[in-house]
Protein backbone atom coordinates (compact mmCIF):
# COMPACT_ATOMS: atom_id res chain seq x y z
CA UNK A 1 0.00 0.00 0.00
CA UNK A 2 1.13 3.49 -0.78
CA UNK A 3 1.49 6.31 1.68
CA UNK A 4 -1.57 8.49 1.91
CA UNK A 5 -0.74 12.17 1.84
CA UNK A 6 -2.36 14.22 4.54
CA UNK A 7 -3.89 17.49 3.51
CA UNK A 8 -1.73 20.42 4.54
CA UNK A 9 -3.08 23.57 6.06
CA UNK A 10 -2.92 26.62 3.85
CA UNK A 11 -3.27 28.97 6.81
CA UNK A 12 -0.01 30.72 7.68
CA UNK A 13 1.53 29.93 11.02
CA UNK A 14 0.74 32.58 13.60
CA UNK A 15 3.41 35.27 13.88
CA UNK A 16 5.23 35.26 17.22
CA UNK A 17 4.57 38.32 19.34
CA UNK A 18 7.09 41.03 20.19
CA UNK A 19 8.11 39.56 23.55
CA UNK A 20 8.94 36.05 22.32
CA UNK A 21 10.79 37.45 19.30
CA UNK A 22 12.85 39.84 21.44
CA UNK A 23 13.72 37.15 23.98
CA UNK A 24 14.64 34.60 21.32
CA UNK A 25 16.71 37.05 19.24
CA UNK A 26 18.52 38.27 22.37
CA UNK A 27 19.25 34.69 23.41
CA UNK A 28 20.55 33.73 19.96
CA UNK A 29 22.71 36.85 19.63
CA UNK A 30 24.05 36.29 23.14
CA UNK A 31 24.87 32.63 22.33
CA UNK A 32 26.71 33.66 19.15
CA UNK A 33 28.66 36.45 20.88
CA UNK A 34 29.57 34.19 23.84
CA UNK A 35 30.80 31.51 21.45
CA UNK A 36 32.94 34.12 19.66
CA UNK A 37 34.49 35.44 22.88
CA UNK A 38 35.10 31.88 24.13
CA UNK A 39 36.64 30.88 20.77
CA UNK A 40 39.00 33.84 20.87
CA UNK A 41 39.97 33.01 24.47
CA UNK A 42 40.67 29.42 23.48
CA UNK A 43 38.51 28.16 26.32
CA UNK A 44 35.08 28.61 27.84
CA UNK A 45 35.57 31.94 29.52
CA UNK A 46 31.95 33.01 29.79
CA UNK A 47 28.89 31.14 30.92
CA UNK A 48 25.30 32.36 30.65
CA UNK A 49 25.24 32.89 34.44
CA UNK A 50 28.27 35.19 34.26
CA UNK A 51 27.08 37.03 31.16
CA UNK A 52 23.78 37.77 32.89
CA UNK A 53 25.64 39.90 35.45
CA UNK A 54 27.70 41.95 32.99
CA UNK A 55 25.14 44.61 31.99
CA UNK A 56 24.82 45.56 35.68
CA UNK A 57 28.54 45.94 36.41
CA UNK A 58 30.58 49.11 36.00
CA UNK A 59 33.71 50.78 37.32
CA UNK A 60 31.50 52.72 39.78
CA UNK A 61 30.33 49.55 41.49
CA UNK A 62 27.16 47.91 42.74
CA UNK A 63 26.33 46.07 45.95
CA UNK A 64 26.13 42.30 45.51
CA UNK A 65 22.66 42.28 47.10
CA UNK A 66 21.42 44.82 44.52
CA UNK A 67 23.02 42.77 41.75
CA UNK A 68 21.18 39.66 43.00
CA UNK A 69 17.90 41.60 43.07
CA UNK A 70 18.38 42.89 39.53
CA UNK A 71 19.08 39.48 38.02
CA UNK A 72 16.55 37.78 40.32
CA UNK A 73 18.83 35.12 41.77
CA UNK A 74 19.94 34.36 45.30
CA UNK A 75 22.75 36.26 46.97
CA UNK A 76 24.60 32.93 47.19
CA UNK A 77 24.38 32.38 43.41
CA UNK A 78 25.62 35.92 42.74
CA UNK A 79 28.40 35.40 45.27
CA UNK A 80 29.55 32.25 43.47
CA UNK A 81 29.52 33.99 40.09
CA UNK A 82 31.39 36.96 41.52
CA UNK A 83 34.08 34.64 42.90
CA UNK A 84 34.52 33.19 39.40
CA UNK A 85 34.79 36.69 37.91
CA UNK A 86 37.21 37.66 40.67
CA UNK A 87 39.45 34.66 39.89
CA UNK A 88 39.55 35.87 36.28
CA UNK A 89 40.52 39.35 37.59
CA UNK A 90 37.45 40.87 35.91
CA UNK A 91 35.86 42.26 39.08
CA UNK A 92 36.99 43.35 42.51
CA UNK A 93 35.16 43.74 45.80
CA UNK A 94 35.83 47.02 47.59
CA UNK A 95 34.39 48.83 50.57
CA UNK A 96 31.38 51.07 49.90
CA UNK A 97 32.48 54.66 50.63
CA UNK A 98 28.89 55.52 51.63
CA UNK A 99 28.55 52.62 54.10
CA UNK A 100 31.64 51.09 55.66
CA UNK A 101 29.78 47.86 56.43
CA UNK A 102 28.80 47.23 52.80
CA UNK A 103 30.89 46.15 49.86
CA UNK A 104 30.72 47.04 46.19
CA UNK A 105 31.61 44.86 43.23
CA UNK A 106 33.13 46.74 40.33
CA UNK A 107 34.87 46.00 37.08
CA UNK A 108 38.66 46.01 37.12
CA UNK A 109 40.58 47.55 34.21
CA UNK A 110 40.78 44.00 32.79
CA UNK A 111 37.03 43.65 33.30
CA UNK A 112 36.39 46.92 31.46
CA UNK A 113 38.59 45.70 28.60
CA UNK A 114 36.69 42.38 28.50
CA UNK A 115 33.38 44.26 28.58
CA UNK A 116 34.53 46.43 25.66
CA UNK A 117 35.66 43.31 23.81
CA UNK A 118 32.21 41.77 24.22
CA UNK A 119 30.58 45.00 23.05
CA UNK A 120 32.87 44.97 19.98
CA UNK A 121 31.70 41.41 19.20
CA UNK A 122 28.08 42.60 19.38
CA UNK A 123 28.90 45.56 17.08
CA UNK A 124 30.49 43.12 14.61
CA UNK A 125 27.33 41.01 14.51
CA UNK A 126 25.16 44.10 14.19
CA UNK A 127 27.23 45.15 11.16
CA UNK A 128 26.98 41.61 9.74
CA UNK A 129 23.19 41.73 10.16
CA UNK A 130 23.10 45.15 8.46
CA UNK A 131 25.12 43.76 5.56
CA UNK A 132 22.68 40.86 5.25
CA UNK A 133 19.37 42.66 5.87
CA UNK A 134 20.23 46.22 4.89
CA UNK A 135 21.43 49.06 7.10
CA UNK A 136 18.08 50.86 6.84
CA UNK A 137 16.26 47.94 8.42
CA UNK A 138 18.73 47.77 11.31
CA UNK A 139 18.48 51.56 11.86
CA UNK A 140 14.67 51.37 11.80
CA UNK A 141 14.71 48.44 14.23
CA UNK A 142 17.08 50.24 16.60
CA UNK A 143 14.92 53.37 16.42
CA UNK A 144 11.75 51.38 17.18
CA UNK A 145 13.44 49.47 20.00
CA UNK A 146 14.74 52.74 21.44
CA UNK A 147 11.19 54.09 21.56
CA UNK A 148 9.89 50.83 23.05
CA UNK A 149 12.67 50.96 25.65
CA UNK A 150 11.68 54.51 26.65
CA UNK A 151 8.05 53.45 27.18
CA UNK A 152 9.03 50.33 29.13
CA UNK A 153 11.44 52.37 31.24
CA UNK A 154 8.63 54.84 31.98
CA UNK A 155 6.29 51.99 32.90
CA UNK A 156 8.94 50.54 35.20
CA UNK A 157 9.22 53.86 37.03
CA UNK A 158 5.57 54.90 37.04
CA UNK A 159 3.62 51.67 36.70
CA UNK A 160 2.55 49.77 33.62
CA UNK A 161 -1.04 49.59 32.41
CA UNK A 162 -2.82 46.46 33.61
CA UNK A 163 -4.91 44.22 31.43
CA UNK A 164 -8.32 43.08 32.46
CA UNK A 165 -8.78 39.46 33.46
CA UNK A 166 -10.16 37.37 30.57
CA UNK A 167 -13.94 36.86 30.70
CA UNK A 168 -14.91 34.06 33.07
CA UNK A 169 -11.64 34.18 35.02
CA UNK A 170 -11.06 36.24 38.08
CA UNK A 171 -7.63 37.81 38.49
CA UNK A 172 -5.08 35.27 39.78
CA UNK A 173 -7.36 32.25 39.40
CA UNK A 174 -5.68 28.94 38.46
CA UNK A 175 -2.27 30.53 38.20
CA UNK A 176 0.69 28.61 39.61
CA UNK A 177 2.19 29.89 42.83
CA UNK A 178 5.82 30.02 43.72
CA UNK A 179 6.87 27.61 46.46
CA UNK A 180 9.31 28.83 49.05
Q: Measured between alpha carbons, how far is 11 from 25 in angstroms, rounded to an integer? A: 25
Question: Against a cut of 0.85, is the pTM above it?
Answer: no
Nearest to 114, CA basis, from 56, 25, 41: 41
Kindly write down the DSSP assignment for every residue of 105-146, as one continuous string.
EEE-HHHHHHHHHHHHHHHHHHHHHHHHH-HHHHHHHHHHHH
Give the distance between the most distant pair of CA atoms in the chain: 82
**How do the pLDDT tens digits run along the chain, 180 residues long?**
556 666 666 778 888 899 999 999 999 998 898 888 888 888 888 888 888 898 899 999 999 999 999 999 999 999 999 999 999 999 999 999 999 899 999 999 999 988 888 889 999 999 999 999 999 999 999 999 999 999 999 999 999 998 887 777 666 566 666 665
Amino acid sequence: MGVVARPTSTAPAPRPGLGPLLFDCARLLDDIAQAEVNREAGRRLLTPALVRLLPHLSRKGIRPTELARRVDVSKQAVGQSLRELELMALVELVGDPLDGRARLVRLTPEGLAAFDHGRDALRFYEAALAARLGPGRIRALCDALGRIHAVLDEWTAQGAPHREAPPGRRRGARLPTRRK
